[in-house]
Structure 1
Amino acid sequence: MSAAAAARSEQIRARLEAAFASARVQVIDDSAQHAGHAGARGGAGHYSVRVESAAFSGRTRLERHRLVYGAVADLIPHEIHALSIEALSPDDHGVESSP
């Protein structure tokens, strides 16, 4: 991963952590899997994020995704070309609450 890609991943992580207090955030840069893809030619990356936050409790999957997109909206489309989201609450099976 290049320094620019690492910085972009960290920027996404910081945005999500700021938007969702006490969240567990994982960001994976999937851009290498899409090398040569037309949408990626401008330098924007493909990312997968997993966010575990109490902010998602009682919300639908669509509402959760909208919240995540809202946290990184200004990075789309110049920094982020594609974003795969897994947004979980402590109520979801198998997810432990953050300490």
Structure 2
Amino acid sequence: MQVKVFIEQQLSDNLAPLFLEVIDESHMHNVAAGAQSHFNVTVVSDVFSGQRLIARHREVNGLLAEALAGPVHALALHTYTPEEWQARQQQSVASPPCMGGSKAG
């Protein structure tokens, strides 16, 4: 199974998100083609209401533990309540360019 699909299924099944975006950013890093190792995730869920940011991230990391123990090297998480998402004007967060080395090799 593709890692992106696994992430989407786990978060959809467990968080009932109002918005979910999973972007495979592996191509932006110094990894082999098809590595499926770097992801940017934006998830908006009522489940996050009343939770601090660290609790939200722990919850997502727990749901994705299998992928984090395997192919996923980096996971950028952006977790919002519906109210926070509305205040952001429903804008996802883009990752900055990778500064971790050259793709030359």
If the TM-score is normalised by the length of the shorter chain, which range does it land in? 0.7 to 0.9
**Which residue of the partner structure matches residue 60 of structure 1?**
52
Where do residues 56-95 of structure 1 align in structure 2 (5 Å cutoff)?
A: 56-92=48-84, 93-94=87-88
Provide the TM-score with structure 1 as the length reference.
Answer: 0.76
Q: For residues 53 and 25 of structure 1, what CA distance do their matches in structure 2 show?
A: 9
Work out whether residues 21 and 53 of structure 1, in 8 Å CA contact, stay in contact via their aligned partners in 2. yes
Aligned-residue sequence identity (percent) comes to 30
SS of 1:49's partner is strand
Q: For residues 76 and 57 of structure 1, what CA distance do their matches in structure 2 show?
A: 25
Name the count of aligned residue pairs.
87
**Which residue of the partner structure matches residue 5 of structure 2?**
10
For structure 2, the 5+ residue unaligned runs are: 91-105
Shift of 1:70: 1.0
Q: For residues 78 and 66 of structure 2, what CA distance do their matches in structure 1 show?
A: 20
Task: Kindly provide the CA deviation profile for residues 52-85 of structure 1, in whole angstroms up to 9, marking residues without a partner as x.
Answer: 0000011111111111111101111312111000
For structure 1, the 5+ residue unaligned runs are: none
Q: Does 1:24 align with 2:16?
A: no
Alignment RMSD: 2.2
SS of 1:58's partner is coil
Provide the TM-score with structure 2 as the length reference.
Answer: 0.72
Shift of 1:95: 6.0
Aligned CA distance change for structure 1 residues 22 and 78 (closer, same or farther; 3 Å) = closer
**Which residue of the partner structure matches residue 42 of structure 2?**
50
Shift of 1:23: 3.5
